[in-house]
Amino acid sequence: MPGLSYRGRAILAAIIEEFIATGEPVGSRTAAKKAHLELSPATVRNVMAELEEQGLLAQPHTSAGRVPTEEGLRYFVGSLLKPYEPTQADLDRLRRQCEAAAGDPEELMRRAVRTLSLLGQAAGLVTSPRIEALPLVSLRFIPVRERTLLAVLVTAGGLVHQRAIQVPRQLERGELERIHNYLNDLLVGRSLAELRELIDLEARDARASMDQLRQKALDLGSQAIEDARSPELYVEGHENLFGNAEFTDSDRLRAAIRALAEKDQLLELLDRTIAAEGIHVLIGTESGIESLSGLTVITARYGDGDSPAGTLGLIGPSRMDYAKAMSLVDHTAKLVSLLLQKRSS
């Protein structure tokens, strides 16, 4: 994208801000007024024509003003967006809702994005914390019936993973206690990936030394973490999305409903954005998901900076208040991260 002149940037920003506010094509007089430029209508029309040639604006029909294209919105978000700070009332509401559920990580996620959805007037999205990314706290095996143990794995932040394990014989209480002590010495503070690697190393050593109790403990530990669950996707506040004027059109409404129903694709999309820090904005076709054309997804990861636990965000019409939505997503992710950190400390 070639660099824009000061006039081009000012007029593009004015048109997009007005379009976001009204949903209507923007004419040259309005653009000049909103951009605070002392230019003739003819000069403004020439600048708008240049912006159209560069793919940043489009003209729905000959007599209409201009509307931004996806490329225009992308340039606006990347280069022209003005900083926005949420109101104290909005921040207080978000904090109250999140703190009320701080004891339950999954309820915290749902409350956070439910409130985010309401404040941002879009649908809220969040993946449940990824157990793979969280430090482990304890692992216990509870006898539930003859030759069956329930493995209970607990992470920092309070996530619990359970799995039934079949054993060839019932283990004595003292034997189980020694297994618990050994495995908990190994796992505390480590991630699942680290623990899997360590179990492999320890198992080789235990076989070499003919240590049957260690071998049994490591076999149970390996089974306990074998199928630690994948993250789930929660979508909250559909009504906040569908309340936008764009969805009075029945075709667009049906497309949005389909997009929110395709949870596997949305989960894959959110997983792609977890790798890098900061706010991610995917406008229309940038998501690579056909049903999201005409929609924008704004996400941020939450959790520890080195090992993020999940992703949250908003999904709304491409004509949305980007500055407000991005700021709200950022504040929500930081608040959730802080509350999870406090719970695990």
Domains in the chain, start-ordered, CATH in brackets? 6-80 (1.10.10.10), 88-130+232-344 (3.30.450.40), 132-224 (3.30.390.60)
Position 308 scores a pLDDT of 79
Using pLDDT thresholds of 50, 70 and 90, give the confidence band for residue 100.
very high
- Model confidence at 178: pLDDT above 60: yes
- The sign one gets for the Cα dihedral 90, 95, 100, 103 is positive
pLDDT digits (tens, 9 = 90+) for 17-32: 999 999 899 999 999 9
Using pLDDT thresholds of 50, 70 and 90, give the confidence band for residue 60.
confident
Return mean pLDDT, the chain.
88
> Tokens in use for 9?
């940037």
pLDDT digits (tens, 9 = 90+) for 87-96: 999 999 999 9
Using pLDDT thresholds of 50, 70 and 90, give the confidence band for residue 249.
confident
Alpha-carbon distance of 199 to 187, in angstroms, equals 9
Position 297 scores a pLDDT of 95
DSSP 231: P
Give the list of residues 6+ apart from residue 84 with CB closer than 8 angstroms, or none: 323, 324, 326, 327
- Model confidence at 307: pLDDT above 90: no
pLDDT (average), residues 291-302: 91
DSSP secondary structure, 176-225, as one string: HHHHHHHHHHHHBT--HHHHHHHHHHHHHHHHHTT-HHHHHHHHHHHHHT
Position 229 scores a pLDDT of 62
Using pLDDT thresholds of 50, 70 and 90, give the confidence band for residue 227.
low
Alpha-carbon distance of 202 to 215, in angstroms, equals 9
Position 48 scores a pLDDT of 94
pLDDT (average), residues 135-153: 87
DSSP secondary structure, 218-285, as one string: HHHHHHHTTTPPPPPEEEE-HHHHHTSGGGGSHHHHHHHHHHHH-HHHHHHHHHHTTSS-S-EEEEGG
Position 18 scores a pLDDT of 95
Using pLDDT thresholds of 50, 70 and 90, give the confidence band for residue 2.
low
pLDDT digits (tens, 9 = 90+) for 40-56: 888 999 999 999 999 99
- pTM (2 d.p.): 0.80
pLDDT (average), residues 58-75: 89
Q: Which residue in the block uniquely carries the two structure tokens 């000061």?
A: 6
> Residue 175 is inside which H or E element, if any?
helix 173-187
Least confident span in 77-86, 223-232, 257-266: 223-232
Amino acid at 212: Q
Burial of 9 (0-12, 13-18, 19+ CB in 10 A): middle
Least confident span in 137-141, 142-146, 208-212, 234-238: 208-212
